[in-house]
Amino acid sequence: MEYRLKRGFKPDIERVRGVLEEVFLTEVHEEGDMLVTSYGALKRVEVKIVEKKLSVISEANPEASEETMLDTNRRFRDFLLKATGYTGKQRIKQAKKDAQE
């Protein structure tokens, strides 16, 4: 999924790395131009900047407990807010707009 960045949120991969480490409290490593980590109900999270947008690919762990899934979902939403500057409602609105174009 690709997310627009709010004005003032630079498309800087090092800034995004800091947000990943702050929110997920895990080690983040690089694979080419991509940042990769895992946390809780997410087996793998791949993040990179593509054409001034944040590109996020995630792989879920279906064996995670419900409590782990809730915590992971909360942290993932926090990550997107801090990385893009947009709330969930704003991201949905933009996705609908992009789909119409």
What's the pLDDT at 100? 84
CA within 13 Å, CB half, 99: 7
CA-based diameter of the chain, in Å?
A: 39
What's the pLDDT at 101? 76
Alpha-carbon distance 54 to 56, whole Å? 6
What's the pLDDT at 98? 80
Low-confidence stretches of the chain (pLDDT < 50) are none
What are the tokens at 33?
A: 């131009």
pTM of the model as a whole:
0.90
What's the pLDDT at 74? 96
What's the pLDDT at 84? 94
Domains of the chain by range and CATH? 2-94 (3.30.310.190)
